[in-house]
Chains A and B, each alone.
Chain A
C-alpha cells in the first residue's frame, strides 16, 4: 500500500457539497460513492441526483434520515438509473419521487458490498485504494464544534449516526489519519473535510463500511 493516498488527486470526486438543514447525509454518501465509481470506470465525472435518492428510496425517510445500505439495496434491486443533478436538483427537503423512463440516460448500480472493517485498517486501506472512495458511517456528535486538525478523541465507535465518504489516508506524519469528505459545506472543518486518526476505530469509522462496485 502507498504511504498516502487521496482520491482528490485522481479527479473522481465532486466538490464538497452542503446538505443544508436536511438529514440527507445517507443519500449524499451513496451518490458520491457511485459518482466516483462511475468516473473510475472511465466516464467523465458527473454529479448525480441526491434528490432522486432522497425522494424515491422508499424504505428511507428523506430529510428525516435513512440508511446507506437500504439506499444501495434499493438501487441494486430496482436498477433505477440516477439522473444528473442538473435534471433533478437538490432542494434540501423531501419531495415527490420523479420517475424517468428506462430509456432516459443515467447511471445504474451494478452491485455493492457492505462490510464491517473493525480492527482491519490495512484491509480497509487496500479496499479504498483498489475499489475507490468508500461510503462509511461515523459517530459525528463531536463534529458540531470541529474546526480542523486530526480527530483523536471525543467520539465513540458504538453510535454511528452520520454517513460520509472515505477518500484517502496519510501515514507519513507523526499521526496517521484518514481523510473524509463531509457534506456540511466548505466552511466546516478543513474546507469541508475531516481528518481522523487511524487506529482504535475512532468515530466507529469502519463499523460498518460499504464500498461500491460499478
Chain B
C-alpha cells in the first residue's frame, strides 16, 4: 500500500539495516554473542527508530551507598 516514493525510502533504510548488521556482526564474537540482522525495525531510519522508541530521559541519581533506608 506504500506509494513508490515511500517504498523506495523504506527500501533504502532496509539496505542500511543490512549494512549495519554486517558491521555489528563483524566484531570478534565469543560463544553466545549477540547477533544482529533483519527484524521489525529494519525499514526505519536511525532517526525514526530513535524518535519512536528511545524516548526515556537519562536522570541523575546518587551512587548506591549500601545503606539501608529507614521507614
| A interface residues with partner B (beta carbon < 8 Å) | 19, 21-26, 29, 61, 63-70, 111, 113-118, 120, 123-124, 127, 137, 140-142, 144-154, 159-163, 173-175, 184-185, 187-188, 195, 204, 208-210
Contacts and interface: CB of A to CB of B under 8 A. Distances in A.
Interface in B41-71: 41-42, 44, 46, 49-64, 66, 69, 71
Interface string B3-43: 00000000000000100110010010011111111011110
A124 B46 CA distance: 31
Contacts, number: 151
Contact of A208 (B39, B40, B61): B61
Given A69-B61, A114-B61, A147 B54 contact: no
Interface-centre pick from A29, A147, A188 (highest chain B CB count, 10 A): A147
Interface of B: 17, 20-21, 24, 27, 30-37, 39-42, 44, 46, 49-64, 66, 69, 71
B41 A144 contact: yes
B58 A175 contact: no
A44 B16 CA distance: 46
Contacts of A195: 34
